[in-house]
Amino acid sequence: MYARWKPVAVVTALLATLCALPALAQTYQIDPVHTSLVFRVKHMNTAFVYGMFRDVKGTVVVDEANPARSSINIEVDANSVFTANEQRDNHLRSPDFFNARQFPTITFRSTSIRRVNADTVQVQGNLTMRGVTRPVTATVNLTGKGKNAQGRDIIGFETTFTIRRSEFGIRYGLPGLGDEVRVTLSVEAIRQ
């Protein structure tokens, strides 16, 4: 009689162990169609001028049980800068600013992620632009989770942070064109 029930006990113990394991990290691919990277800079200490990058890609690894095992890797095509003014956009691609021919990609790689609360993490990482890498810290908010039209899991995040462009070797127009650049990134990503 005991031998007949032993497999049931083993299966029950195995199921209990599996249920107790933390959820595995999930990898998401950034959806460039539903992701926005916007920046603003002050012109002549008067008005803010806004721009964006149209080509943003990368991956987000989410470990809800242990955010420290999460990661963010983003690549931005510097040539995709857009400010609704062709002459200005071409100037931004030039060596005066992004020098997009020599440095076509702007990257961000997270180095640590720490939970602040249920919907917020603090992300530290390295931003590389024009061949210069500087540390950046950003507070990232979860904006939602759901399924897209194809039924695939999606997740959204948003962050706003400020950098000094001079720290990346972009000094053209200072001080008339502001040094501080506010960056807003809104990401929608699809689970792989």
- Return the CATH number at 33: 2.40.128.110
> What pLDDT, on the 0 to 100 scale, is given for residue 19?
46
Question: Is the residue at 49 inside a domain?
Answer: yes
- All residue ranges of the chain with pLDDT < 50 are 1-3, 5, 9-22
Domain holding 139, by residue range, is 24-191
> What pLDDT, on the 0 to 100 scale, is given for residue 158?
98
> What pLDDT, on the 0 to 100 scale, is given for residue 7?
53
Structural domains counted in the chain: 1
Question: Is the residue at 145 inside a domain?
Answer: yes
> What pLDDT, on the 0 to 100 scale, is given for residue 73?
97
Question: Is the residue at 113 inside a domain?
Answer: yes
Radius of gyration of the chain (CA): 22
- Could you tell me the pTM of the whole model? 0.85
> What pLDDT, on the 0 to 100 scale, is given for residue 88?
97
> What pLDDT, on the 0 to 100 scale, is given for residue 24?
79
Question: Is the residue at 109 inside a domain?
Answer: yes
Question: Is the residue at 187 inside a domain?
Answer: yes
Beta bridge partners of 136: 125
Question: Is the residue at 151 inside a domain?
Answer: yes
Q: Which of 93, 117, 116 is nearest to 103 (CA)?
A: 93
Beta bridge partners of 144: 156
Question: Is the residue at 7 inside a domain?
Answer: no
> What pLDDT, on the 0 to 100 scale, is given for residue 91?
98
DSSP letters for 88-113: HHHHHHSTTTT-TTT--EEEEEEEEE
> What pLDDT, on the 0 to 100 scale, is given for residue 16?
47
Question: Is the residue at 16 inside a domain?
Answer: no
